[in-house]
């Protein structure tokens, strides 16, 4: 029970990586507030946590808007009385198009959710973590935050930005006993990567199987995609006392993706 007595917020917690992280944290003793835009998904995750004997709270919130983030943090504090861990996982895939053809509104929405959302959540969580002189912020970036990514420029830019935000926050908060790290997953099986594969296949005139093999399997050492639980295991480590000496780092969990 490495997170016994801790309280966490996991954004994008209704499905995929966020759901896996929330369930793993709860299994290790944390009370978890899960936030996202789909109430049905959030309530299903909350029910799974409750069925396992842990406490949770589901909050509908679009992290791109500051009032929604303020409400999310306030709700967690009202329910559980404290905050120890923030996982900035909420994100969208953004457009699949070359820059010359991409719509400005798609670019802006991608950065608003993926990057500004992480900034806003950190901004409003920090005072409560500082008050305790202890805490963890974990940003879920992507291998796309370390490489060029043709036809996914908005997504890549948002994930590069998260790495810069991580390093900056680590410098600001270290003196308060707060660690800030990022996880950069490779391709993780689930609905999101399925949509990415579909859109890229359509744009390039290839089959989904060809895209999956060429872009997401063959470039890895392990020759496979990841499962969400593999990312959740790394998030648990970073949230635990075992990682107290790690901050400002971006940890790749990529199945050995070739950079």
Q: For residue range 124-159, what is the model confidence (pLDDT) as tens digits?
A: 999 999 998 999 999 999 999 999 899 999 999 999
| pLDDT score of 191 more than 90 | no
When the pLDDT of each residue in the chain is averaged and rounded to a whole number, the result is 96
Of 27-31, 33-37, 108-112, 196-200, minimum mean pLDDT range = 196-200
| pLDDT score of 258 more than 90 | no
Domain 7-253 architecture: 3-Layer(aba) Sandwich (3.40)
Choose the catalytic residue: 149, 155, 206, 223: 155
pLDDT tens string 162-173: 999 999 999 999
Look at the alpha carbons of 30, 34, 39, 42 in this order and tell me if their dihedral is positive or negative: negative
Domain ranges of the chain: 7-253
Q: Angle 85-89-95 (CA atoms, 0-180°, nearest 5)?
A: 165
Alpha helices in the chain (DSSP H): 16-27, 39-51, 66-80, 104-111, 117-132, 153-173, 191-204, 208-211, 228-239
Nearest to 19 by CA among 191, 230, 232: 232
Distances (CA, A) of 88 to 58, 77, 138: 15, 17, 6
Choose the catalytic residue: 123, 149, 159, 206: 159
| pLDDT score of 19 more than 80 | yes
Q: Is 155 among the catalytic positions?
A: yes
Half-sphere exposure of 118 toward its Cβ, with a 13 Å CA cutoff? 29
pLDDT of residue 259: 64
| pLDDT score of 192 more than 90 | no
Residues 137/138/141/146 CA torsion (nearest 10 deg): 90
Provide the 8-state DSSP code for 35. E
pLDDT tens string 48-57: 999 989 999 9
The residues facing 183 across adjacent strands are 140, 251
SS3 142: coil
Q: Is 149 among the catalytic positions?
A: no
């Amino acid at each position: 029970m490495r997170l016994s007595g801790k309280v966490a917020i996991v954004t994008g917690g209704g499905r995929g990586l966020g759901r896996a992280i929330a369930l793993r944290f709860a299994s290790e003793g944390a009370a978890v507030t899960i936030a996202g835009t789909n109430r049905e998904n959030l309530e299903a995750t909350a029910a799974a946590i409750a069925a396992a004997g842990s406490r949770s709270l589901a909050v509908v919130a679009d992290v791109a808007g500051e009032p929604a983030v303020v409400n999310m943090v306030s709700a967690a504090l009202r329910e559980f009385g404290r905050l120890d861990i923030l996982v900035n996982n909420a994100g969208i895939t953004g457009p699949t198009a070359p820059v010359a053809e991409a719509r400005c509104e798609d670019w802006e929405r991608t950065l608003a959710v993926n990057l500004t959302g992480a900034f806003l959540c950190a901004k409003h969580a920090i005072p409560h973590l500082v008050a305790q002189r202890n805490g963890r912020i974990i940003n879920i970036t992507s291998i796309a935050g370390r490489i060029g990514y043709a036809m996914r420029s908005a997504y890549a830019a948002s994930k590069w930005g998260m790495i810069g935000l991580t390093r900056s926050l680590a410098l600001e908060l270290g003196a308060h006993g707060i660690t800030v790290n990022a996880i950069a997953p490779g391709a993780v099986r689930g609905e999101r990567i399925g949509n990415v594969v579909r859109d890229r296949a359509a744009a390039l005139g290839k089959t989904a199987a060809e895209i999956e093999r060429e872009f997401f399997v063959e470039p890895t050492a392990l020759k496979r995609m990841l499962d969400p639980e593999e990312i959740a295991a790394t998030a648990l480590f970073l949230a635990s006392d075992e990682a107290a000496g790690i901050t400002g780092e971006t940890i790749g969990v990529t199945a050995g993706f070739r950079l």
